Amino acid sequence: MMEALEMVWQKVVALMTYDSSSPLIFSSGLFLFLFVGFLLLYRLLQRTTTARILYVVAFSLYFYYKSSGLYFLLLIVAATYDYMIGFSLYHTHNRTMRRLLVAMSVALNLGMLGYFKYTNFLIDISNQLFGEGFLQFQNIFLPVGISFFVFQSMSYTIDIYRRELRPLTSWLDYLFYLSYFPALLAGPIVRAKVFIPQIRRRPEVTREMLGGAVFLMLTGLFKKAVISDYIALNFVDRIFDEPLLYSGFECLMGLYGYALQIYCDFSGYSDMAIGLALMMGFHFPKNFDAPYQSATITEFWRRWHISLSSWLRDYLYISLGGNRKGKRRTYLNLLLTMLLGGLWHGAALRFVLWGALHGVALAVHKMWLEAVPWAKKDGTSMNPLSRLFGVVLTFHIVCLGWLVFRADSMQTAALLLHQIFTNFDTSLIPQIVEGYAFSMGLIALGYLLHFIPTRVDGWMRGLVSRAPMGVQVAMLVVVIWCVMQIKSADIQPFIYFQF
């Protein structure tokens, strides 16, 4: 009896203790178990608004603690100062003071983000300029999700400054908005004006919403835990670790595999986040819309990580002047926006180059539209042949960006390109496909599902949504079983947790 109690106690302690080697993520069995328990009590608290808000905030902070340890306190601090600044902004009419307050909010948020993400980057640059040992590197842990909740918090104060939003009158409500666990670690970046009206509204989950949530959970789990994790561990990582050991075809497939991996990983997270929120009666905007079906780079950025691209457009590109100050300034604004978007992903040259590539591509596309009067501004309105060419070209521009984004160094990227262009032996293709049969099959399946027409995707979603509850549960069980069959021994964090 004592041994049983001791085991139970150890389990409880483990649940309440942060373990950096085992963060709590959506695709883990522990989270799914905890969420079922959370949802049962959540349903009972639907009619009691304040108790429900307190309960969700407590679970969100616990979820963040299990992902980043004591850095959950940072989230509380950020929620406190931006709540106070937002309230002051709304009730201050002096223009200079309002500018000072919004600048204070931006400075505090970017200062916090800069310390955790860019301190060692700046130290490295200083040491290169003034000699090794000029400054000592710091042992800084990057809190998971800091880039996402900082951008959400900034959008809140900027919208109040622009008189597009009224501030919340309750600090608890703002903490709810900033810490809401489905979107906390890797987005979507949910705007305050979209989310805040839902906080105190009594949550209603219709049969259709629940079915849609189940579909999103199914697709998200499959994309992340089946496709992304498997091809990463068993194929993609090996290619990028030692490109010289592989043929040109293997390197090319490794690059195509990474393009699919990062899409399935990140869109899988977004699907699960949107699905979890939907089960609780909250609506999140769509974050991915089959981006590799894009026929232009501009269309790609309307489909990829929509919440970030729209944030950069509304709060950075437009603030820089957008397209209102002439052609040259427009091109410069596009380049600066994407350069800063690249830096947002991390303090490394590869992210800067990735942002520069996309900035130049966007500027060139805009130049093309201005130089060729008959060019279609909307990629979806192209004729079929032009669109096919555009999709292939855009996909390979994006893949070139992913190569720089993924490679540990520019040398690795150069070696991989060298293998593709100088060591491409077509006679080896059947042997390679046979040797990596399951990985190649998953890559093919992933792209096949990605290029399914929208109407077919909608039909599949409707089919799952209208299925009886027992069938939906059976589908979830099958997907979880598939995850358990092919998962590695270690939990594979989502790629965007590092950003």
Q: What is the pLDDT of residue 242?
A: 92
Domain with 135 in it: 47-199
Question: Is the domain of 383 the same as that of 261?
Answer: yes
- Any domain includes 33: no
The residues annotated with a catalytic role in the active site are 345
Cα dist from 219 to 3, 266, 445, 461, whole Å? 41, 12, 13, 10
The domain total for the chain is 2
Question: Is the domain of 187 the same as that of 231?
Answer: no
pLDDT less than 70: residues of the chain? 1-14, 20-21, 27, 133-134, 137-138, 373-380, 481-499
Q: What is the pLDDT of residue 447?
A: 96
Question: Is the domain of 155 the same as that of 213?
Answer: no
Question: Is the domain of 295 the same as that of 427?
Answer: yes
Distance in angstroms (rounded) separating the CA atoms of residues 488 and 499:
23
- Any domain includes 29: no
Question: Is the domain of 191 the same as that of 295?
Answer: no
Long-range contacts of 475-484 (CB under 8 A, 24+ apart): 475/214, 475/218, 476/214, 476/217, 476/218, 479/218, 479/221, 479/222, 479/226, 480/29, 480/32, 480/221, 482/222, 482/226, 483/27, 483/221, 483/225, 483/226
Question: Is the domain of 160 the same as that of 236?
Answer: no
Domain stop point among 199, 231, 261: 199
Query: Phi and psi of 459, rounded to 5°?
Result: -65, -40
Q: What is the pLDDT of residue 321?
A: 85
Take residue 60 and report the two structure tokens written for it: 């969100």
- Any domain includes 111: yes
Domain stop point among 146, 168, 199: 199
- Any domain includes 3: no
**pLDDT, tens only, 177-200:** 999 999 887 778 888 989 999 999
Question: Is the domain of 277 the same as that of 424?
Answer: yes
Q: What is the pLDDT of residue 427?
A: 87
Question: Is the domain of 182 the same as that of 327?
Answer: no
Question: Is the domain of 159 the same as that of 308?
Answer: no
Q: What is the pLDDT of residue 392?
A: 95
Q: What is the pLDDT of residue 426?
A: 87
Kindly report the pTM of this predicted structure.
0.89
Distance in angstroms (rounded) separating the CA atoms of residues 149 and 446:
30
Q: What is the pLDDT of residue 483?
A: 66
Q: Do the beta carbons of residue 176 and residue 280 sit within 8 Å?
A: no
Question: Is the domain of 149 the same as that of 230?
Answer: no
Question: Is the domain of 420 the same as that of 468?
Answer: yes
Domain stop point among 166, 199, 232: 199
**pLDDT, tens only, 61-80:** 999 898 888 888 989 999 99
Question: Is the domain of 311 the same as that of 331?
Answer: yes
